Amino acid sequence: MKIGIDSIAFATSGYFLSLETLAKYRNVDFAKYCAGIGQMKMSIFPPNEDVVTVAVEAARKAISGIEDKNNVDMLIFATESSFDLSKSAGIYVHHFLKLKENCRVFDLKQACYSATAALRLAKSYVRENPDSKVLVIGSDVVKYSPRTSGEPTQGGAAVAFVVAKDPRILEIEPWAGIHTTDIMDFWRPSHLEEALFDGKLSAQNYLKSMHISVARYLEKSNIAISDVNHVCFHAPFCKMAQKANSQLFRLKSIGETLIYNSVIGNSCSASLYICFVSLLDHIKDDLTGKRIGFFSYGSGSVAEFFSGIVTKNYRQMLDTQNNQKMLTDRVEISFQEYESLGNRENLDFHSYKNVGEVAMFGINNHQRMYKVRKTY
C-alpha cells in the first residue's frame, strides 16, 4: 500500500522584521546575516498570534484539499512551543476546524524532530486503517534573548499535512536511518520563554548525526546517494542546511528549498516540511517520480534521514500563488516595535491583524482565549 503526504500547507504570522534593520540597530554588518547565516527576514508574532492560530490556518488549508474531513481520525500536533504542560494544543485546532469527536488528538515533543515522529506514527496508523486520514501539524515560535547569536534566526510558522493512502503529493519510502544521542545543544526549561543553546555544539552534532543517519539509510535501502534527486534539510538557519548539503551531496543545489525559510526564520518542527513546500513551489523541473531525501534533526538529540517519491498529480495539489502572497502581504515592523513586542508587557491584542480566521484576544485565569473572526 502506498502511504504518504496527500496535501500540505503552511502559515506564518502577518508581520516580519528585516534583518537589515536588526543589523543596523545591533551595529552588525548585514552581510553577517544574509551571507553568514543565509537569512533575510524573520517572522514576528504579535500578541494575537501563537502556535495555535497559525496551526489552525495551515490545517484549514491542508484539509481543504481532501474530499471529506470526517475521514480524519487522528490529529497529531508536533511542537516544542506548547504553553500548557497538560492540555494538547491540538485540541484547539480540532475545535476550530470542527473535526468529528471520534478523533484522537495529542501533542508530540522532541525539539525540531517531532513532526517527523508524527509522520511515522501517522503512516503506521493509516497502514492499519486504510480508509482513515491523519492530520499532522508542526507549529513553533522561536525566541532568543536580545543580542545573542540566536537572535537573527528567530521566527515561527506552522505546517500541516494530511497522511493517507494513495497520496497525491509524496509516497513515503520504507527505509530510514536514525541516530539518537544524549547531548545538551539546545534546551527550553519550562520556566523560561526563550530557548538556551550551544550553537557550536549543535552545528557539530547536526552534521555528525546527518552523516550517521544517511549511512544507515543507504545501508538499509541499498540506494545509492546519486539516486536521491533532491534533498530537504531541517533549516534552523539556511546556512546550516547549505553546509550540510555541501558535505553530503556537493553538486546538488538546494536553493529552491530555502526560499521560504530565508524570510520566515526558524520554525523548528515546521522547518523541514516548509523546505519541501518551497521546493515544490519553486523548482521548474517536473518532479514526478523523483526521489526526495529528508534530513530531520531535533536537538537533544534525534535525527532521521528518509525519502519519498513524488507522485504524478502533485502539481494539482500546490497552492504556490497563495503561499507567496501570504509572505509578500506581511507587514514590516520597526525595530522599536520589535523590542516592544519582545517585552510582552501591556500588549494590545486588538491592534494587530492575524493571517487566519482565528485570533487570540487575551489571557484570563491563565487560560488563552481565542475567537473566530468569521466562520469557515
Q: What is the DSSP string of 324-362?
A: HHHHHTPEE--HHHHHHHHHTSS--TTSS--SSSEEEEE
How do 331-332 and 302-310 pair as beta strands? unpaired
- Say whether 112 is catalytic: yes
What's phi and psi for 330, nearest 5 deg? -65, 155
Instruction: Considering only CA atoms, give the Rg of the chain.
Output: 19
Amino acid at 231: V
Identified catalytic residue from 171, 232, 234, 238: 234
| Annotated active-site residue in 103, 112, 232, 268 | 112
In angstroms, the CA 41 to CA 33 distance is 9
Catalytic position from the list 34, 49, 57, 80: 80
C-alpha cell recorded at residue 239? 546556512
Report yes or no: 101 and 25 within 8 Å, Cβ to Cβ: no
At which residue does the C-alpha cell 516548509 appear? 274
How many angstroms separate the CA atoms of 227 and 146, rounded? 43
Residues with Cβ within 8 Å of 289's Cβ and at least 6 positions away in sequence, in order, are 309, 310, 312
* Cα–Cα distance for residue pair 352/243, rounded to 1 Å: 37
Contacts with 81 (C-beta within 8 Å, 6 or more apart), sequence order: 51, 139, 140, 141, 142, 156, 268
Q: Is 34 a catalytic residue?
A: no
Q: Return the active site residues.
A: 80, 112, 234
